Structure 1
Amino acid sequence: MSKWTLGIIGGSGLYEIDGLEDRREEQVETPWGAPSDTLVRGRIGEVELVFLPRHGKGHRLTPTEVPYRANIAALKAAGVTDILSISACGSLKEEYVPGHFVAADQFIDRTFARDKTFFGAGMVAHVSMAHPICPRLSELAAQAVEASGAMLHRGGTYIAMEGPQFSSLAESKLYRQWGCDVIGMTAMPEAKLAREAELPYAILCMVTDYDCWREETEAVSVTNVLEIMGHNSAIARKSVVKLAERLSGTERTPDPSGTDTCLDYALITAPDARDPKLVEKLRVIAGRAL
């Protein structure tokens, strides 16, 4: 039976997960450097979990400084089959109230200072990002949040900004005009790199504030974000346990959206034109296709 090995990337406020048996830490190096922190491995029931705090313990790294490529490569090398990202976000819709969760299914990438691909000159690939979220994993995660007692919104567009500053009022209003639902700083290029590594990816967005478009409400600040983050993080930790319990004893079949084999249709560089050094470097994330 094919088993799940669930990678959890914890965002702001989520630096540990509960209920891990056989807990152990692993120091990892990748061809793209070290990840944000040590990997924490363990299991809940029959499901292996690998946890990585995105900003490092103590929140040491800004959104721009997060080593996104190393993080995804480390999880891939650790045998992870699927990734659940948990991220704090701001709400761009009245009905997405601070304290709610959003299982986003689309992204707009407005980041500009980050390495966004494992590939490059000598080995070019173009993966599809039309549907960036694994619907199976997203639905299972959504059910786990609901079972934990939180309000969950299915679907939504997450706009990723560079940060680390919060939005201006003009930007916040513009993103609402674009039809965005939540705003954050870390889902990109994380989701793109997960796709290149053939790892199904889903995200749970923890709403902490109304950004600054809602002028009758105090503009977002670290102080009011922290006030609600503790509650959200407790729900997120509980949801991870419930998700693992749902997966335990359930066979993992190939991802119905095809992420497991997406590189079959993405590699474009002819074999005789490939850079051997880059190909070797890529084996950790693309070895199946190469």
Structure 2
Amino acid sequence: MALTGMVLRCSKNSFLVESDEGERVMCEIKGKILKASQGFYNPLAPGDRVVFEVTSPDGRGRILELLPRSTVFTRFNQKGDAPQVIAANIDLLCCVTTAEEPPFRPRFIDRVLVQAEIAHVPAAIILNKTDQELRDQGVLLDMEERLSDFVRIGYPVFRVSALSGAGLEELTRHWQGKRVLLVGQSGVGKSSLINALGASPPLKVGALSAKYQRGSHTTTMAQMILCTYGGHSFWVLDTPGIRRLTIDGITSREVALYFKEFAPLVGQCSYGLSCSHRFEVGCKILEALDAGYIHEDRYESFQSIVQELTERSSYENL
């Protein structure tokens, strides 16, 4: 009998699926190929809806079909030279960051937000470990400036502490009834945050490297976890730490369309859609940069992504 359900966890050719009736079944893929997943580095990701059947007396099953995805968040997998699906059918993406441990990296946040825009998924930023006192006030000022700019251009910022519980009530009100993807570098406390929200059994968490100020990839696979906190219920997708997100799904000519504050200006330059937004007289994006409407760091992130995609395209065309 064919059943439908949601993929909770993937590991090689093993997939934990929860049926619509609440039964959890460990499945494999029939023939290891799903037509709808062709062209991707991985066939399935947490959040995917599938058709499956139970095939053995011990309760194991087999996935027969991947159902259409409402949203898909990807990254470009350089090793496999193909898009890698991180999550499917999510309602919200939250980029988790910290001030000092590990250090605040706004360029990484920029990339996550761009990829969320490509996926048409609403995004927010979570500043975790707010219970920790900052040693460098210069770091604090720089961070607050960037966070204020993220809010200005339309990305909510939630300040929380997985340790003390501060801010979690406000955060989970925002998450009620949603499927939420957490993305961040190793050590920012994604798993600790989910544990604070009632994960059972608790997820494994690791210590931060004092030498390199980064985490040690304690989370080794993405998994969807049902949580209830303060009367709010939601699914949270924990993911392994990402050191660098490689943009997927657009060309270098399209990057400006996925920066919120750039997009309304695209096509208004003197050179129209041919403008590179680097040196042209009459470039509206450069004018907005000079006027302070576009933050200098955001512009540098924009140029970095354009260069990366240009180089990848040149390599692919060799």
TM-score by length of 2: 0.28
Calculate the TM-score normalised by the size of structure 1. Answer: 0.30
* Greater RCO (Cα-Cα under 8 Å, separation 6 or more): 1
Larger Rg: 2
